[in-house]
Amino acid sequence: MAPMSTNPPDLRPDLARARVTDTSRAGQPTIGMVSLGCPKALVDSERILTRLRAEGYGISHDYSGADAVIVNTCGFLDSAKAESLEAIGEALKENGRVIVTGCLGAEPEYITGVHPKVLAVTGPHQYEQVLDAVHGAVPPSPDPFVDLLPASSVKLTPRHYSYLKISEGCNHKCKFCIIPDMRGRLASRPAFAVMREAEKLVENGVRELLVISQDTSAYGVDIKHAEDRGHRAHITDLARD
């Protein structure tokens, strides 16, 4: 069986020194993940895998060990669309049970027109729909003595750094950019939630936090730079905190 393809390749969990340390047990359902595109999409992949692991799923690093494969796509450029379609085709060939999500998932007919055998197509940051699709394809089988304990976050980056997403979407309507159509309008995370995640990452050994979003300079504009629990939703305040 061929290894899973990703872009860039050093973000593969089995190549990067990522904290994916699951030990499979007998009868445990397993899911593979191919994550394409930008760091924002990678964070989405981490969140999906974290939720699945909390429900008792194992994480497979190759096609042969997975009961189904999630392909998190990119649709920003024509070349990215072509790469996403190629990755979906490879996953179908090597595994056969494929769930598609991500930015290209905003165009489901485009995907199913080329690959009609995919199990489901969901758009970007539609975590619940992805989980529903996984449940339908591979029902969870949790071990109540192990899997229902609070799960640690899945990280697909090397141990020394991590991405920290502060907002989703963009309010600008630049004619050359399709991101607002795919990712929606600006939705900033509460500042206290960003800080809490940052603190947990540092406690777990992360030395470098890479702040990401579609429009970092606009962080907090949509919530009028609200202050909550001692933290103000403004990029300069986050940097000082």
Lowest-pLDDT range of 11-25, 100-114, 172-186: 11-25
Give me the mean pLDDT over the 115-138 stretch. 94
Lowest-pLDDT range of 19-28, 75-84, 101-110: 19-28
pLDDT of residue 8: 35
Q: Which CATH architecture has domain 9-137?
A: 3-Layer(aba) Sandwich (3.40)
Which region holds residue 85: left if phi is over 0, alpha if psi is between -120 and 50, else beta? alpha
Give me the mean pLDDT over the 36-41 stretch. 90
User: Cis omega (within 30 of 0) on the bond before 142?
Assistant: no
Break the chain into its structural domains and give their ranges. Answer: 9-137, 161-240
Q: Which burial class, exposed, middle or buried, applies to 105 when counting CB atoms under 10 A from its CB (0-12, 13-18, 19+)? A: buried
- Residue 145: band (very low, low, confident or very high) from pLDDT cuts 50, 70, 90: low
- Residue 230: band (very low, low, confident or very high) from pLDDT cuts 50, 70, 90: confident
Q: Helices 39-54 & 127-137, crossing angle to 10 degrees? A: 50
- Whether domain 161-240 has CATH 3.40.1080.10: the reply is no
Mean of pLDDT over the chain: 84
Q: Strand, helix or coil at 181?
A: helix
Give me the mean pLDDT over the 163-189 stretch. 89
Lowest-pLDDT range of 56-60, 87-91, 195-199: 56-60
